[in-house]
Amino acid sequence: MRRPPRSHYLPRTRAGWWSVLSFLLLFALTQPPFVTGPANRIEPLVLGMPFLYAYLLGLYLLLIGVLIRALRKGV
């Protein structure tokens, strides 16, 4: 057996890069400073929900979507 030639921290396929980068980008939007700055407001209400709550709910659903897409693409 041999040592793996390349790091496992970097994706090796296009689908892998897409999944990792989109997950990290969306996840960053759920963290400070975004969540404590521009998103930290009540209005405008979104479907009757306060903005911060709806903003995070939307991001969480998108993140789950990224995971399911990764599964379907075999990442």
Binding site for other proteins (CB under 8 A): 1-9, 12-13, 23, 27, 30-33, 35-36, 40-42, 45, 48-50, 52-53, 56-57, 60, 63-64, 67-68, 70-71
User: Which 3 state secondary structure label does DSSP give 46?
Assistant: strand
Q: Least distance from C-beta 17 to other proteins, angstroms?
A: 14
Q: Least distance from C-beta 48 to other proteins, angstroms?
A: 4
Q: Least distance from C-beta 25 to other proteins, angstroms?
A: 13
**H or E segment and range at residue 68:** helix 51-73
Torsion of the alpha carbons at 27, 60, 19 and 24, rounded to the nearest 10: 0
Please tell me the distance from the alpha carbon of residue 66 to that of residue 75, in angstroms, as a whole number: 11
Nearer to other proteins, 25 or 64 (CB): 64
Token output for 4: 């793996």
